[in-house]
Structure 1
Amino acid sequence: MNPVLTALRKGFAQLGDRVVARLLLKTALITLIVFLVLGALAYLGLTAAFAANGLEGAGLAGAVAAVLLTGLAFWFLFRVVALAVLQFFADEVVLAVETRHYPEAAKTARKLPFRRDFANSLKGAGRALLYNALAAPIALVLIFTAVGPAIVFLVVNAVLLGRELTDMAWVRHCGEHPEANPVPKVQRLMLGAVIAAIMLVPIANFLGAILGAAAGTHLVHGARERKG
Structure 2
Amino acid sequence: MPRLLIAEDDADLGPAMKRALELDGYVVDLFARGDDVLVAVGVGSYDVILLDIGLPHMTGLEVLRALRARRDETPVIVITAFDRTPHRVAGLDAGADDYVVKPVDLEELAARIRSQLRRRERRHDDSLSVGRVTLDFAGHVASMDGEEVLLTAKEFRVLALLMRRSRRFVSKTDLEGELYDQDQWVESNTIEVAISSLRRKFGRDFIRTARGLGYMVGGLEA
| Structure with greater contact order relative to length (CA < 8 Å, sep ≥ 6) | 1
TM-score, normalised by the number of residues in structure 2 = 0.25
The structure in which a higher percent of residues are strand is 2
The structure in which a higher percent of residues are helix is 1
